[in-house]
Amino acid sequence: MQICPRWYAIPLNFLSLLVVLYALAAALKFSGAVPDLKERSFVLAVVRLAFLLALPFLFFSVVSSVRCVQRLPADEAAMLLFRYWKDSTDDPGTKELPEKFQGVFWFSTDPSPELCINFQAAAFDAATRTMKLYPGSSYTWVWCDSCVGWAFYLFFAFVNPIYSLQVRWEEGYQKAYLPSILFGCFNIDWLTCSAMYIEQMDESEFARTTYVLGRPFKHGSYSLKKVVDKDGRPLPAFDDMILSLKEKRVVQGYVKPWGQLVRGNLC
């Protein structure tokens, strides 16, 4: 398994970014391309330019995400994920996905504003045993219909073109490393000083563990339970999920609402 980044990655990442920007400024200055360039002004200009370029896409992302969102009761949202991918028989990745990953899974002890996931939405490479998930894509995640849930939903919709969560399984599909990837190739775990792993506990339950600064992070670690099987039959955990919402069960300080959000296809 991978080694989690340690605390010293934080200053190293920050210093590395500054060094790269200042080195680029110095190269432009001393090469004669921009002889009067001031390094500090250059760094600030790069930050401003990145912000201005992101604004139009941010606006489009928010508008499109609001247009295609479906606000549903929790039970309907979970079944919608299953029905959508059950009908997607043309996707070769869906056919190759191991049976134990087919169906809908519940973030049972996760304090984040997310309820369910369907691994059949992942791009799956059987040769490398790797799933590539896009949290902001259609019919992949079920987000809570709350202020925090909307923030998560809109954020992942915004970064969806450049961000993916990979699940790299070991042989036997019992344990996996979950790196966060930017632009399809850059592992940013060292930048965030964190690392995530998942391990199968029994036939229908997985445990995800998150490490931050080399230590287990409680609020990023939880149990993932299958609630709908590959044939669309609700499992015992489905009733527990519904009961937890109706009882307003506290999950590490967070109460998940009955209403949920599902991103649909953009019309």
With CA atoms as reference, report the closest residue to 242 among 76, 85, 57: 76
Establish how many alpha carbons lie within 13 A of residue 14's alpha carbon, considering only the half-sphere containing its beta carbon: 4
Rounded-to-integer distance, Cα 144 and Cα 158, Å: 17
Is residue 213 a part of any domain in this protein?
yes
pLDDT (mean) for 126-148: 94
pLDDT (mean) for 9-32: 70
Helix (H, G, I), strand (E, B) or coil at 145: coil
Is residue 41 a part of any domain in this protein?
no
Q: What proportion of the chain, given as a percentage, has pLDDT over 70?
A: 87
Q: What proportion of the chain, given as a percentage, has pLDDT over 90?
A: 57
Query: What pTM does this model have?
Result: 0.83
The answer, yes or no, to whether residue 13 has pLDDT greater than 70, is no
Is residue 139 a part of any domain in this protein?
yes
C-alpha dist (Å) from residue 55 to 48, 50, 60, 158, 184 = 11, 9, 9, 11, 22
Is residue 69 a part of any domain in this protein?
yes
**For the segment 57-104, what is each residue's pLDDT rounded down to a tens digit?**
778 888 888 889 999 999 999 999 999 988 765 454 556 899 999 999
Is residue 96 a part of any domain in this protein?
yes
Is residue 250 a part of any domain in this protein?
yes
List the alpha helices (DSSP H) in the chain.
9-30, 39-68, 74-86, 92-96, 147-159, 189-192, 236-246
The answer, yes or no, to whether residue 1 has pLDDT greater than 50, is no
Q: Provide the residue range defining the domain that includes 202.
A: 60-263
Helix (H) or strand (E) holding 199: strand 194-202
Query: What are 84's two structure tokens?
Result: 């959508």
C-alpha dist (Å) from residue 218 to 113, 222, 223, 253 = 15, 8, 12, 12
Rounded-to-integer distance, Cα 259 and Cα 240, Å: 16
3-state helix, strand, coil in the chain (%, to 5): 40, 30, 30
**For the segment 147-180, what is each residue's pLDDT rounded down to a tens digit?**
999 999 999 999 988 899 999 999 999 999 999 9
- Grade residue 5 by pLDDT with cuts at 50, 70 and 90: low
**For the segment 36-65, what is each residue's pLDDT rounded down to a tens digit?**
767 677 777 777 777 787 788 778 888 888
**What's the chain's average pLDDT?**
86
Is residue 112 a part of any domain in this protein?
yes
The answer, yes or no, to whether residue 109 has pLDDT greater than 90, is yes
Task: Specify the range with the lowest mean pLDDT, choosing from 83-87, 137-141, 233-237.
Answer: 83-87
Structural domains of the chain, count? 1
Is residue 28 a part of any domain in this protein?
no
Rounded-to-integer distance, Cα 4 and Cα 111, Å: 22
pLDDT (mean) for 119-147: 94
The answer, yes or no, to whether residue 26 has pLDDT greater than 80, is no
**For the segment 185-222, what is each residue's pLDDT rounded down to a tens digit?**
889 888 888 999 999 999 899 999 999 988 889 888 99
With CA atoms as reference, report the closest residue to 136 among 115, 161, 114: 161
The answer, yes or no, to whether residue 240 has pLDDT greater than 90, is yes
Rounded-to-integer distance, Cα 106 and Cα 118, Å: 9
Rounded-to-integer distance, Cα 131 and Cα 91, Å: 14
